[in-house]
């Protein structure tokens, strides 16, 4: 992995740094914050929601990539896992591979990361394919080989307990959903002991893509596409007929406050 190596993390990069990033991005947008390699144990950028993921170069099972160029105009699920040749990770990478067509349908690219060697990744992919016989065709997404852990540190994917010990430090099960403008829209952090749920990842993408298109709603607990959504409290009563011509339900509450307004008109 080669992080874009700059001396300072700048939230408002200068004009010159802006132009140095432009070749990686297909969007007219503010440039990324810049990764600093100051420390091998501290994230170079905050991974708070809405952070612009810094561009980076990496070696992967599909060849070297420059992240922004590879991302193109897609959404991305970038996820780390503790190590190759481990059982839970095998199920995770396998189930995510099986569901690749569902990610493709959502204009979403997948990319995994761990701190193992490229050769291990390639050997392990053969195991995953043998274990998950329902993966159609070639393994459908790249796996980043981040042997130096530099990228994992930069993206805050290293477990906190062992982060300063390169012998023991592993990537956690971090998962970032990134919008086409390279912004971190959702993050999940699971411990090594708990494999992730692919349906939940897809459900989150559905919610994020809906609210990115229709900025006046939010999706409730356990929502899946087609079910009612919540209208944002900031939407004024008089705007409702224009925004939701097919109707709005207003739920009466003991408090007398009307704040649960739902619609399936989206
Ligand atoms: C696993 O993928 O099975 C695993 C990896 C690291 C620690 C514990 C479990």
**Hey, how many other C-beta atoms are within 10 angstroms of the C-beta on 259?**
11
The one catalytic residue among 127, 181, 206, 265: 181
- Nearest residue CA, atom 7 of ligand 1? 192
Nearest CA to ligand 1 atom 1: 88
pLDDT of 179? 98
Cβ of 190 less than 6 Å from ligand 1? no
Q: What's the pTM value of the predicted model, to 2 decimals? A: 0.85
Whole-number pLDDT of residue 44 = 67
pLDDT at position 18:
31
**Which tokens sit at 249?**
């339900």
Query: What pLDDT, on the 0 to 100 scale, is given for residue 8?
Result: 29
List CB contacts of 65: < 8 A, sequence separation 6 or more: 57, 58, 142, 144
Residue 181 appears among annotated catalytic residues: yes
Tokens found for residue 74 = 């897609």
pLDDT at 160: 83
What pLDDT score does 181 carry?
98
Q: What does the pLDDT read at residue 41?
A: 61
State residue 161's pLDDT score.
Answer: 83
24: three-class secondary structure by DSSP: helix
pLDDT tens for the chain, residues 1 to 266 = 444 433 323 333 333 333 333 333 344 444 444 444 444 566 767 899 999 999 999 999 999 999 999 999 999 999 999 999 999 999 999 999 999 999 999 999 999 999 999 999 999 999 999 999 999 899 999 999 999 999 999 999 998 888 778 778 889 999 999 999 999 999 999 999 999 999 999 999 999 999 999 999 999 999 999 999 999 999 999 999 999 999 999 999 999 999 999 999 99
| 89 part of the active site | yes
CB 264 within 8 A of CB 227: yes
Binding site membership of 192 for ligand 1 (Cβ less than 6 Å)? yes
Interval between CA 9 and ligand 1 midpoint (Å):
33
* Rounded Cα gap, residues 210 and 245, in angstroms: 18
CB-CB contact of 212 with 106 (8 Å)? no
């Amino acid at each position: 992995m080669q992080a874009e190596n700059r001396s300072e993390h700048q939230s408002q990069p200068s004009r010159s740094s802006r132009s140095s990033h432009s070749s990686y991005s297909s969007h007219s947008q503010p440039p990324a914050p810049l990764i600093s390699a100051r420390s091998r144990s501290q994230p170079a950028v905050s991974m708070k929601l809405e952070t612009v993921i810094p561009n980076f170069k990496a070696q992967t099972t599909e060849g070297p990539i420059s992240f922004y160029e590879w991302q193109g105009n897609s959404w991305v699920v970038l996820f780390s896992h503790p190590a190759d040749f481990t059982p839970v990770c095998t199920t995770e990478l396998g189930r995510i591979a099986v569901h690749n067509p569902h990610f493709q349908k959502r204009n979403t690219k997948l990319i995994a990361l761990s701190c193992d060697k490229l050769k291990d990744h390639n050997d392990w992919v053969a195991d995953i394919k043998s274990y998950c016989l329902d993966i159609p065709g070639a393994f459908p997404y790249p796996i980043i080989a981040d042997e130096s852990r530099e990228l994992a540190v930069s993206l805050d994917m290293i477990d906190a307990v062992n982060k300063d010990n390169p012998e023991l430090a592993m990537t956690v099960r971090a998962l970032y959903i990134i919008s086409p403008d390279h912004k971190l829209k959702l993050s999940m952090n699971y411990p090594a002991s708990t494999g992730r749920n692919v349906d939940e990842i897809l459900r989150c993408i559905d919610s994020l893509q809906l609210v990115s298109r229709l900025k006046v709603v939010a999706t409730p607990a356990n929502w899946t596409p087609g079910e009612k959504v919540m209208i944002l409290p900031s939407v004024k009563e008089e705007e409702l007929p224009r925004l939701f011509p097919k109707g709005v339900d207003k739920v009466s509450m003991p408090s007398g406050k009307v704040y649960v307004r739902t619609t399936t008109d989206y």
